[in-house]
Structure 1
Amino acid sequence: MIDKERITRQFVKLVSIDAPSYREREMADYLTKELEELGFSVEEDDAWKVYSGNCGNLYAHRPGSGSPLLLGMHMDTVEPAKGKKAVVHPDGRITSDGTTVLGADDMSGVAAVLEALHHLKEENRPTRELEILLSIGEEKHVKGAKVFDFSKIQAEKSIVLDMSGEIGTAAVQAPSQIAFTVKVRGKASHAGFAPQDGVHAIRIAATAIAEMAIGRIGDDTTVNVGHIEGGRASNIVPDYCEVSGELRSFSHKKALEELAKVEQIFAKEAEKCGGSIEFIRDICYQAYKTDENESVVKEFQKACTACGIKSSLIATFGGSDQNKMSEHGIPGIVMASAMHQVHSCQEYTEVSEMAQVAGIVSELLQMKE
């Protein structure tokens, strides 16, 4: 039986550990110890060097019989994430004290996997070969998995525990995300005596933004401008403005096409006014779609059925480490993992749901296919 008291204690312990992005050292040390006690060999890479962090991604492996399975979770938590305190309510709901996020994203998934492993160990049940990737910086657009060496992975299928939604739900499709920054350069002049001598960088940016298609572009693409800043004083024609935004699309090709349009619009407006731009792009991750006939999908559905849970396959417009796994030829899904209202101080989880997730994982770990 899944031990609800143990999974609650484990979850409360996990969220008590401060692990903001690129500062996951204490979390990595705790999870390394837990996994080694469960029979895993654990390696840590040097991803921290890339991001000036304090630890790397963890890769854990344990031999077994049957086809290997890769499980993915992340160690970092969005801000405000320091001093998190889990409050366990009588009805089984767990929240923070309201001053921070709870950290169910992604500690509910981590707690469920650890409980499944402890449960199977207690029952002395054999498991399939298992690999686990615990990434850093996932909340910074999948940065940890972006630099992980996937040549280590033997599994040909993966399941990432990192999604909100009803238990039994799994995403088989996710979008590309491309972040962009536009540095607009103009020419400063006195706003009172010689405005005609200046090139107004903020106006260039504003005109370009007004020309952009923003919001939902068709059924499968979104474009957003999320930040703009520039200028030095109200009496100076601003010579600099910086704009940042993102695009998402289920079609990587379309995402690149929309990105090119954004760059062209800014370049055109800058040239028209005598300014210039520097356009910086960051392909955070690429779109994927896992065929519903893939063995990993069938295994997930079978595990849900064994637990008396109805399964459902969806598309999500959020990214995860699965994007990188798919990019490296490892088809997989992202399963709902008992997290709700994530990225807010109203975030919560339910003990009963974490137990359900642990039950599904337990079934998956015992499959031989």
Structure 2
Amino acid sequence: MEWKQNIIEDFKQLVSFDSISFHERNTADWLLARLKSMGFSVEEDQAGAYYGGDTGNIFAVLDGELEGDPVIFCAHMDVVEPGSGKKSVLEKDGTIHSAGDTVLGADDISGILEILYGVQLVIDSGKPHKKIELLFTIGEELYVKGSDVFDYSKVTAKQAYVLDLSGAVGDAARRAPSIISVRAEIRGKAAHAGFEPENGIHAIFAAANAVSRLCMGHVDEETTFNIGTIQGGTATNIVPDCCVLTGEIRSYDHGKALETVRMTERIFTEEAQKINATAEVTSQIHLIAYETSLESKSVTDFQKACEILGFSGELTGTFGGSDNNSFAKNGIEGLVLSNGMYNAHSTREYTTVDDLYKGAELIGQLILL
């Protein structure tokens, strides 16, 4: 069928665009033209202005003939580094990968095209459908920056499907974690490490003692904690007067994530006070955990669509964030759908032609339910 060849050619074209976070202009312009040609009313917001970027979120609406609440589909326009100068390579077995020196960008080009072609399949079928809403976001890879500032009063949908999950089409995640970054700064006192070390206050010593008391990795079955960077000191013969550490907390339970922040602050403060140093611990909440009910319409519709198409319909959780965290925070229930991307965020990333086809068919089926 012609559409199957077209989706491959469109994939190749979108891969060729440089679309690093906050520099999604080429992808956005392509999308604006395509959406208008499909009959959507389209608007681009000013999200990029918040972050010094060149692109806003794209929100599109296609009116339908049927009554009832619409569904909103979402994918992001940005890709991670190394993502400039991407080239796609199509193998005879239908695997699509990069040339090996960049990511492919299936995260999230696959999602974008599966949404567009799913809608097109419905349009071409001539079957009546409800209103369709689409959101294509910027800066998702940097803790969903675009969807975080989107105006959700524009959305009339009560359920959302975000195409942004690794794995074969037919799987979906119904819960995702809170993600909180933490920063601890220990302040001591510098002194000559050879002549008068006793006159110094060793910031790294206090930091090391604090880290030794923290539980790294799995705090419990729902929560992880990691100190990822440590910087301190200026020379081997100087007692270091400053040490800065950064880390990340993830948890399916937002309350547990906040409790881990408080524990971190308490431990760093205690260890600093033991040697008359000071500690300042700050945190930033990037995402808030959610869990979509098994009885929700987004879940039951997804499983029904998968049953019709012969897909797995497996429900799981993801320990990564997505734009669905933003939907959930704004009272819109939903799922994150696998869109056939594998080894994402690496130069080994790939997708398959079969996944692109199946993803489009799944979106088309969800629209018609």
TM-score range, shorter chain: over 0.9
1:131 alignment counterpart: 133
1:284-340 deviation per Cα after TM superposition (whole angstroms, max 9, x unaligned): 111111111111111111111221212111122111111111111101001110100
1:253 alignment counterpart: 255
Whole-angstrom CA distance in 1 between matches of 2:205 and 2:150? 41
Question: Residue 260 of structure 1: SS of its match in structure 2?
Answer: helix
1:243-281 deviation per Cα after TM superposition (whole angstroms, max 9, x unaligned): 111111111111111111011111111122222222221
Question: Residue 3 of structure 1: SS of its match in structure 2?
Answer: helix
Contact 1:6-1:115 within 8 A present in 2 as well:
no
1:315 alignment counterpart: 317
Structure 2 unaligned residues grouped into runs of 5+: none
Contact 1:2-1:115 within 8 A present in 2 as well:
no
- Which AA in structure 1 matches 2:217? G
Whole-angstrom CA distance in 2 between matches of 1:150 and 1:279? 33
Whole-angstrom CA distance in 2 between matches of 1:133 and 1:183? 39
Contact 2:168-2:341 within 8 A present in 1 as well:
no
Contact 2:133-2:155 within 8 A present in 1 as well:
yes
Question: Residue 104 of structure 2: SS of its match in structure 1?
Answer: coil
1:352 alignment counterpart: 354
2:212 alignment counterpart: 210
1:302 alignment counterpart: 304
1:200-234 deviation per Cα after TM superposition (whole angstroms, max 9, x unaligned): 22222221111101111221111111111122222
Whole-angstrom CA distance in 1 between matches of 2:95 and 2:286? 34
**Offset at residue 2 of structure 1 (A):** 7.6
Whole-angstrom CA distance in 2 between matches of 1:166 and 1:122? 26
1:37 alignment counterpart: 37
Whole-angstrom CA distance in 2 between matches of 1:62 and 1:219? 43
1:192 to 191, 194, 215: 194
From the superposition, tell whether residues 280 and 51 of structure 1 become closer, same or farther in structure 2 (CA, over 3 Å): farther
Equivalent residues, number? 367
Contact 1:230-1:241 within 8 A present in 2 as well:
yes
Contact 2:203-2:240 within 8 A present in 1 as well:
yes
1:239 alignment counterpart: 241
1:273 and 2:263 aligned? no
Structure 1 unaligned residues grouped into runs of 5+: none
Q: Give the TM-score taking structure 2 as reference length.
A: 0.96
Question: Residue 59 of structure 2: SS of its match in structure 1?
Answer: strand
**Offset at residue 35 of structure 1 (A):** 1.1
Name the % identity: 44
Whole-angstrom CA distance in 2 between matches of 1:184 and 1:127? 59
Whole-angstrom CA distance in 2 between matches of 1:60 and 1:237? 59
Contact 1:2-1:358 within 8 A present in 2 as well:
no
Q: Give the TM-score taking structure 1 as reference length.
A: 0.96
2:18 alignment counterpart: 18
**Offset at residue 17 of structure 1 (A):** 0.9
Contact 1:2-1:359 within 8 A present in 2 as well:
no
2:61 alignment counterpart: 61
2:159 alignment counterpart: 157
Contact 1:177-1:286 within 8 A present in 2 as well:
yes
From the superposition, tell whether residues 2 and 182 of structure 1 become closer, same or farther in structure 2 (CA, over 3 Å): farther
1:325 alignment counterpart: 327
- Which AA in structure 1 matches 2:50? V
1:91-130 aligned at under 5 Å gives the runs: 91-130=93-132
Whole-angstrom CA distance in 2 between matches of 1:52 and 1:353? 35
Contact 1:184-1:201 within 8 A present in 2 as well:
yes
- Which AA in structure 1 matches 2:360? A
From the superposition, tell whether residues 283 and 2 of structure 1 become closer, same or farther in structure 2 (CA, over 3 Å): farther
1:336-367 deviation per Cα after TM superposition (whole angstroms, max 9, x unaligned): 10100111110000000110010000111122
Whole-angstrom CA distance in 2 between matches of 1:262 and 1:222? 13
Whole-angstrom CA distance in 2 between matches of 1:54 and 1:202? 41
